[in-house]
Copies of this chain bind each other. A is one copy, B any other.
Amino acid sequence: MSGNTMGLLFTVTSFGESHGPAIGCVVDGCPPGLAISAEDIQQELDRRKPGTSRHVTQRREPDAVEILSGVYEGKTTGTPITLLIRNTDQRSKDYGNIADTFRPGHADYTYWHKYGVRDPRGGGRSSARETAVRVAAGAIAKKWLHERYGIVIRGHMTQIGHVEIPFKSWDVVNSNPFFAADEAVVPELEAYMDSIRKSLDSVGARLRVVAENVPVGWGEPVFDRLDADIAYAMMNINAVKGVEIGAGFASVSQRGSEHGDELTPQGFASNHAGGILGGISTGQDIEVSMAIKPTSSIAQPRRSIDRQGNPIVMETHGRHDPCVGIRATPIAEAMLALVLIDHALRHRAQCGDVVVDTPKIPGRID
């Protein structure tokens, strides 16, 4: 009930505060027999890790993951897999002041009212640090989906502030600090981000995630639609304010004759649907796009109040990402993987034994 578990059949139960002893998660429902190692998971964690460039937070966490259970002799056993990341870089300081005030754009105010108590150290549970465990859990999901179905899940930034980033190639995405799919735009982005930092401000971003080779037939038809579960997953990422599937908001001004993807013996002729029709995957690429708000913690003075309701002025100094959206790419990939594996298992449960007289339609046109 309390919003720390995601999934129905493949579940991730997240725990831990930013500056407590540890963060981690319990991954349950993973099929047995999957080869998985701490290294497999670490690889994904390192893509999200802070301190990798001057454009992200300089907090230095090794984010070293330990597997506490569920893996024996290198393979999953079908029992819960526990992943633990000890917190190591909590700068000790007096949080007394922070505990008594509410940072604008932060969850301080809402946590306080919800629970009547909150752990203010480093944002506590609302810190983006918590998302590391989703990336770790997602690494397991990604591996299984790839081994069993050949599914590939990848993301890239499409816009930072007002700088749009064209898609050129997946090959360069992981070799620049912006998850940009076009290297030509990197110098502009670097200059832009430097200027944002200098102005003690932050910016929003937009990113896109794609899943290839998803079989036709995953997702439920009324609630728990595949697109609904994806929207849910993405909106569960800190700072996400909008989600689109396929044509998204562009479909508002489209005509039906333009939007509806025609079918041909060679496959669909377009993919405005984003790979999902009636809540169920079509076999085409799953296409997701999302908007991420600018970082709330900025060093400019901002009006706020304290717990007694008195007006104050806050400047949030510290090691904050000037654009939280950048490091969201591996998180969004992980979340998509978690949704897909859950629906893979659901499909297997209900429809696993149906023999379909499959029409000879390739799922997608290349």
Q: State in angstroms the CA–CA spacing of A345 and B274 once bound together.
A: 29
Q: What string of 1s and 0s marks CB contacts (under 8 Å) between A255-281 and chain B?
A: 111111111110001001110111111
User: Any chain B CB within 8 A of the CB of A319?
Assistant: no
User: B113–A78 contact, CB under 8 A?
Assistant: no
User: A249–B249 contact, CB under 8 A?
Assistant: yes
Q: Chain B residues near A307 (CB, 8 Å)?
A: 357, 359
Asked, given contacts A31-B354, A236-B222, A244-B242, whether A253 binds B161 with beta carbons under 8 Å apart, the answer is yes
Most buried by B among A31, A196, A219, A264: A31
User: Which of B26, B235, B253 is within 8 Å of A4, CB to CB?
Assistant: B26
Q: State in angstroms the CA–CA spacing of A298 and B213 once bound together.
A: 30
Interface residues of A in 13-69 (CB under 8 A from B): 13-17, 20-24, 26, 28-33, 66, 68-69
User: A105–B260 contact, CB under 8 A?
Assistant: yes
User: Which of B233, B245, B265, B277 is within 8 Å of A310, CB to CB?
Assistant: B265
User: Any chain B CB within 8 A of the CB of A254?
Assistant: yes
Q: State in angstroms the CA–CA spacing of A291 and B13 once bound together.
A: 32
Asked, given contacts A69-B22, A222-B14, whether A252 binds B109 with beta carbons under 8 Å apart, the answer is no
User: Any chain B CB within 8 A of the CB of A360?
Assistant: yes
Q: Chain B residues near A241 (CB, 8 Å)?
A: 227, 244-249, 251, 274
Q: Chain B residues near A112 (CB, 8 Å)?
A: 356
User: B28–A2 contact, CB under 8 A?
Assistant: yes
Q: State in angstroms the CA–CA spacing of A198 and B356 once bound together.
A: 40
User: B111–A204 contact, CB under 8 A?
Assistant: no
User: B32–A278 contact, CB under 8 A?
Assistant: no
User: Any chain B CB within 8 A of the CB of A329?
Assistant: no
Asked, given contacts A9-B349, A241-B248, whether A263 binds B304 with beta carbons under 8 Å apart, the answer is yes
Q: State in angstroms the CA–CA spacing of A276 and B236 once bound together.
A: 12
User: Any chain B CB within 8 A of the CB of A180?
Assistant: no
Most buried by B among A261, A283, A297: A261
3 interchain residue pairs of minimum CB distance:
A107-B278, A3-B220, A105-B260
